[in-house]
Amino acid sequence: MPSFSSPEPYILWLTGAGVLIALVAWLPLALKRLPLSLPIICVGIGAVVFSLPAVSLRPLPLSYADITERFTEFIVIIALMGAGLKLDRVFSWRRWNVTWRLLAVTMPLSIAAITAIGGWGLGLSWIAALLLGACLAPTDPVLASDVQVGPPKTGEEDEVRFGLTSEAGLNDGFAFPFVNLAIALGISASTGEPWAREWVFHSVLWEIGVGVVGGWLIGRLFGWLTFHVPAETKLAQTGDGLIAIAATFVSYGVTELLNCYGFLAVFITALTLRRSHRDHEFNREMHDITEQVERIGMMVLLILFGGALVSGLLQPIGWVDVLAAAIIILVVRPVTGLIGLAGLRADLSEKMTLAFFGIRGVGSFYYLAYALNHVELAGGERLWAIVGLVALFSILLHGLTVTPAMRLLDKLQGRDPDADLPPPGLKGPAADTERA
């Protein structure tokens, strides 16, 4: 009789990684027409796994503060590169009108409203309330993939999908000044140092300006190397979409070394790289690899998030926090979204969809981890609990409604939601079979 010893942790991790990658490839197809999303499945898996008695790890973000910041940062920058690469619409102030409305009106109003809720409704300090508003105002570029445009040149770019994709790509960079404002106010409160001049000239003007210019220059460089050098040596000849990952890391690394907003730079780099040869098939290769890496990272993070939920992340939550989270999801974003879109030439159904699907998630986790790693604020556990609860509400509500909502929108606009096309993210021979 063979004897069975307890498996090594390495073997268990290897098996789990194999199952995870299989789910990455298969679940988008399985969930294509169901009112269910991949993030919901991942959170559920994490909750089950970390509830097992044999699993002793408790993945609470404050216990792994540096890892939380860096891991969420990595996922967001990969998502930003993918978002920029898949936008077919040529950049212009007029054609991106919906984006500017969501950035210039909806996001500041959301920050102000959430700050007021935090300060007056939740009893947070005004610095903590401002940080909460800055964390929860931006639409997430990672979890919002189900409402974003399809891969390059697939034609899946109506006004709603374009608006949510472009907003998610840019609002991370424009929310960062408010995160830095909360940090500056927190430091000033403890040291008495002045903050206004440094914040205006560095955190706003320098970091946004250099982030845009730096991202554009790096995008131009990679665009030239990829598409325009002599045919024998241009990077597109490699057929290897990993070039997009290289551009992501270089753009983020260089601009962060210049002490400016790397998130903004990465998205600008992606737009500029795509513009270098908008119709080249290699854009699809670059987009595909970024999407695969993003989805693996997202699934791991959400499994850990599910584990944090069952490990006590929401323990500091009271009924008033639950009410506030519901208001942030159901009232603040929809109302500020409709205010920002007032006067836009679009159907009411489009405006309501744009306003409703302001999904919160991985970006919010990064902002909070970053801020708490740079300034000491009282009540960090409660802030994490509130942000976690809002993200959970968003994952459940938006995840359950996104498929029927987008199918209904397609029908209202004369598109066939049951067209025999693979869902965004399906790659390889399976995708070719679906299109055949």
> pLDDT by residue (tens digit) across 36-90?
778 888 999 999 989 988 888 899 999 999 999 999 999 999 999 999 999 988 8
pLDDT score, position 174: 85
User: Residue 7's Cα: distance from chain center in Å?
Assistant: 36
- CATH value at residue 112: 1.20.1530.20
Task: Tell whether 260 is covered by a domain.
Answer: yes
Out of 43-57, 209-223, 227-241, 393-407, the most confident range is 209-223
Q: Can you say whether residue 206 is alpha, beta or left, with left for phi > 0 and alpha for psi between -120 and 50 degrees?
A: alpha
- Look at residues 392, 394, 374 and name the one whose alpha carbon lies nearest to residue 127: 374
Q: At 238, is the pLDDT very low, low, confident or very high (cuts 50, 70, 90)? A: low
**51 or 407, greater pLDDT:** 51
Task: Tell whether 20 is covered by a domain.
Answer: no
Reply yes or no on whether the pLDDT at 239 is more than 90. no
Task: Tell whether 30 is covered by a domain.
Answer: no
* Across 348-363, average pLDDT: 91
Task: Tell whether 12 is covered by a domain.
Answer: no
Reply yes or no on whether the pLDDT at 240 is more than 80. no
pLDDT score, position 283: 86
| Helices 262-276 and 65-85, packing angle to 10 deg | 20
pLDDT, tens digit, 9 for 90 and up, residues 289-327: 999 899 899 999 999 999 999 999 999 999 999 999 999
DSSP at 229 = S
Alpha-carbon distance of 267 to 59, in angstroms, equals 30
Q: Which residues of 221-246 are buried (b: 16+ CB within 10 A; e: fewer)?
A: bbbebbbeeeeeebbbeeeebebbbe
pLDDT score, position 290: 93
Alpha-carbon distance of 247 to 236, in angstroms, equals 13
In which residue are the tokens 């708490």 written? 372
Task: Count CA within 13 A, CB hemisphere, residue 27.
Answer: 19
pLDDT, tens digit, 9 for 90 and up, residues 160-189: 999 999 999 998 878 999 999 999 999 999
| Helices 9-30 and 282-310, packing angle to 10 deg | 120
Tokens in use for 97? 């009108």
Reply yes or no on whether the pLDDT at 159 is more than 50. yes
Task: Tell whether 315 is covered by a domain.
Answer: yes
pLDDT score, position 7: 62
Reply yes or no on whether the pLDDT at 429 is more than 70. no
pLDDT more than 70, % of the chain: 88
CA distances to 131, 264, 379 from 114, rounded to whole Å, are 9, 23, 17
Are the beta carbons of 85 and 152 closer than 8 angstroms? yes
- Look at residues 84, 245, 92 and name the one whose alpha carbon lies nearest to residue 152: 84
pLDDT score, position 33: 67
pLDDT, tens digit, 9 for 90 and up, residues 257-295: 999 999 999 999 999 999 988 888 888 889 889 998 998
Task: Tell whether 29 is covered by a domain.
Answer: no
pLDDT score, position 23: 73
pLDDT score, position 145: 73
Reply yes or no on whether the pLDDT at 146 is more than 90. no
User: Residue 308's Cα: distance from chain center in Å?
Assistant: 19
DSSP at 103 = I
pLDDT score, position 116: 98
Alpha-carbon distance of 391 to 364, in angstroms, equals 8
pLDDT score, position 46: 92
pLDDT score, position 364: 95
Q: What is the mean pLDDT of the chain?
A: 87
**Count H helices, E strands: the chain?**
18, 0
Q: How many structural domains are present in the chain?
A: 1
pLDDT score, position 427: 38
Reply yes or no on whether the pLDDT at 423 is more than 70. no
Residue 262 lies in domain: 35-435
pLDDT score, position 2: 54
Are the beta carbons of 78 and 290 closer than 8 angstroms? yes
Q: At 34, is the pLDDT very low, low, confident or very high (cuts 50, 70, 90)? A: low
Task: Tell whether 377 is covered by a domain.
Answer: yes
Reply yes or no on whether the pLDDT at 420 is more than 60. no
Assign 371 to helix, strand or coil: helix
In which residue are the tokens 């790509």 written? 169
Alpha-carbon distance of 156 to 66, in angstroms, equals 38
Task: Tell whether 8 is covered by a domain.
Answer: no
